[in-house]
A and B are shown apart, each in its own frame.
Chain A
Amino acid sequence: RTKTQNFCRNEYNLTGLCNRSSCPLANSQYATIREEKGRCYLYMKTIERAAFPRRLWERVLLSKNYEKALEEIDENLIYWPRFIRHKCKQRFTKITQYLIRIRKLTLKRQRKLVPLRRKIERRENRREEKALIAAQLDNAIEKELLERLKQDTYGDIYNFPIHAFDKALQQQDVESESESDAEKEDEEEDVDKREFVEADDSDLSDFEDMDELETSSEEEQEVEKKASHSKSKGKTPLKGPARRKRPYIEIEYEEETEPTSKTKAA
């Protein structure tokens, strides 16, 4: 219902508005266009058939050709009032246009609406939360990463001393065991030094091993710095305790004699 006019609910109405001139009940001579299954028909009502409700509306099939159909409307409504003729043609035009649009749309992809079922949605969400808690993702990822470290998928990038020597102990023979034992002792002292004797780090006996450790990590950093600057910035929030060690390493040992010492360790 618009501000000034009502809509007419009669299906034979020509304009759709409720007026005296466009009411099919109020006028004894009336015509409309209606479409069924994509074909348009012209419906006419005349006063002679007002007594026979069954035969009241006369139906004429219009041709599919637009211009021809307009001519047919004209010849059927030849002596009819101008208003009805004009409105019929307008309605016919509108109907053909929307039929064309329907045909075009059905050729394109249709959006299929699948209804969500609330119970199922809720059930799945709850199960997902529980699965998330059961998964303990952080722990699982950490475990997997440590597994990979143990199985040496990373190769020689990370050179953690105790770990490397554990492996060496298991894999090698007796004679190399003594060698690795000696190195292991040095490594242990070295590790201690790295923890609390940071100010004092020039110890000639462990020079080569310290060198090996720090240059390896240093090489890692250098490579990373070359790779991307943003990466090094991203590293700092993680490497809290390690950060203290870095200035020392950079200041003291700036040469790379890493390959030789690494082969010795293996």
Chain B
Amino acid sequence: GGSGTVGPAAGDGGPPAPERVLFPPTFSVSEIKNKQRRHFMFLRWKQQQRKEKLAAKKKRRKEREALGDKAPPKAIPKTIENQRVYDETTVDPNDEEVAFDEATDEFAPYFNRQTVPKILITTSDRPRGRTVKFCVQLSTVIPNSHVYYRRGLALKRIIPQCIARDFTDLLVINEDRKIPNGLVLCHLPDGPTAHFRMSSVRLRKEIKRKGKEPTEHIPEVILNNFTTRLGHSVGRMFASLFPHDPQFIGRQVATFHNQRDYIFFRFHRYIFKSEKKVGIQELGPRFTLKLRSLQKGTFDSKFGEYEWIHKRREMDTSRRKFHL
């Protein structure tokens, strides 16, 4: 016991005789000034809490066994997805307004099958080996895509050229310290521009148990968990990268899975072993994206009209609030 002199602290008996002391009801452990004693009291309080919790659990279990079949169903554990703050922009599948919007926004020509996607992949200046390899692999994953080197060309100038040559999307991979870390996806004829932060990029050779190279077949697209309006528009952006009719012979699927505002991209080959079991094998690169900003027009850093920017001070305040 380290407490020396017994001070006149409120209701504090020394460590040897705690049971007979009654604390006044407004007393809390944090009010004791002496650190050692405070620490000791806090530990004791914690032990007490733990004991109570254990006792409560035992009691509940006994009740459950006693009731047998009539016992109330087990409570669902709380997860972050369960506790997510309800976002009022969540899309209801039957919402007409949303459907109307989507029929008239910039992706309508794609979804009406009027345009075939043609993608230009490029990097920031002086790409290093990893980024170059990643670009090449991306171009094998996305059909009808071309990789061009950027040799100091301003984006604002290459955009009109792209439009003239009939590209539908522009994908710029930004690089920092020899690894790709940012992605700018620009839907071309005047479409929205999305800027992402890219992380955990794995090239094909770094993926374990991968299969052969992706073939030329058009893959299927899976978009998971894009619930809000913002998520919907981002999801449609991704969907418009791929041609509309997947070739099921190819058995390849590209997945964009949104979880807590992180979008995970994976590319798999699947096979149905029976009608209840499917096997998937990962091929192709993988990366995760986090949306930083969404701009209405094409890429323009100064005069563009931002539809959504991630503002850290305002948006990161709650751990249960997600925007995509």
Q: A144 interface residue, CB < 8 Å from B?
A: yes
Q: A251 interface residue, CB < 8 Å from B?
A: no
A124-B290, A154-B248 are known; give 12 further A-B pairs, CB within 8 A.
Answer: A124-B197, A127-B260, A130-B260, A132-B259, A140-B257, A141-B255, A142-B270, A149-B275, A155-B248, A230-B212, A237-B281, A242-B273
Q: Are A145 and B262 in contact (CB under 8 A)?
A: no
Beyond A227-B217, A234-B212, A238-B281, is A128–B262 a contact (Cβ under 8 Å)? yes
Q: B47 interface residue, CB < 8 Å from A?
A: no
Q: Are A233 and B212 in contact (CB under 8 A)?
A: yes
Beyond A125-B199, A145-B278, is A223–B264 a contact (Cβ under 8 Å)? no
| Chain B neighbourhood of A109, CB < 8 A | 152, 154
Chain B residues within CB distance 8 Å of chain A: 79-81, 125, 152, 154, 197, 199-200, 211-213, 215-217, 220, 222, 224, 248-250, 253, 255, 257, 259-262, 264, 266, 268-276, 278-281, 288, 290, 312
Q: Are A162 and B222 in contact (CB under 8 A)?
A: no
| Chain A neighbourhood of B248, CB < 8 A | 154-155, 157
Q: A131 interface residue, CB < 8 Å from B?
A: yes
| Chain A neighbourhood of B261, CB < 8 A | 131
Q: Are B262 and A131 in contact (CB under 8 A)?
A: yes
Q: Are B215 and A231 in contact (CB under 8 A)?
A: yes
The smallest beta-carbon distance between A101 and chain B, in angstroms, is 16
State the main secondary structure of chain A at its contact with B. helix
Chain A residues within CB distance 8 Å of chain B: 108-109, 111, 120, 124-125, 127-128, 130-132, 134-135, 137-138, 140-142, 144-146, 148-149, 154-155, 157-158, 160, 162-163, 220, 223-224, 227-228, 230-231, 233-235, 237-239, 241-242
Neighbour of B288 across the interface among A120, A128, A157, A241, CB < 8 A: A128
| Chain B neighbourhood of A238, CB < 8 A | 211, 269, 271, 279, 281
Neighbour of A146 across the interface among B152, B197, B278, CB < 8 A: B278
Per the bound structure, the CA–CA distance linking A162 and B272 in Å amounts to: 14
The smallest beta-carbon distance between B227 and chain A, in angstroms, is 14
| Chain A neighbourhood of B257, CB < 8 A | 135, 137, 140-141
| Chain A neighbourhood of B312, CB < 8 A | 120
Can you report 5 residue pairs joining A to B where beta carbons are below 8 Å apart? A132-B288, A137-B266, A141-B255, A141-B280, A242-B273
The smallest beta-carbon distance between B32 and chain A, in angstroms, is 32
Beyond A141-B255, A144-B222, A237-B281, is A224–B249 a contact (Cβ under 8 Å)? yes
The smallest beta-carbon distance between B157 and chain A, in angstroms, is 10
Q: Are B266 and A132 in contact (CB under 8 A)?
A: no
Beyond A140-B224, A160-B275, A163-B275, is A227–B152 a contact (Cβ under 8 Å)? no
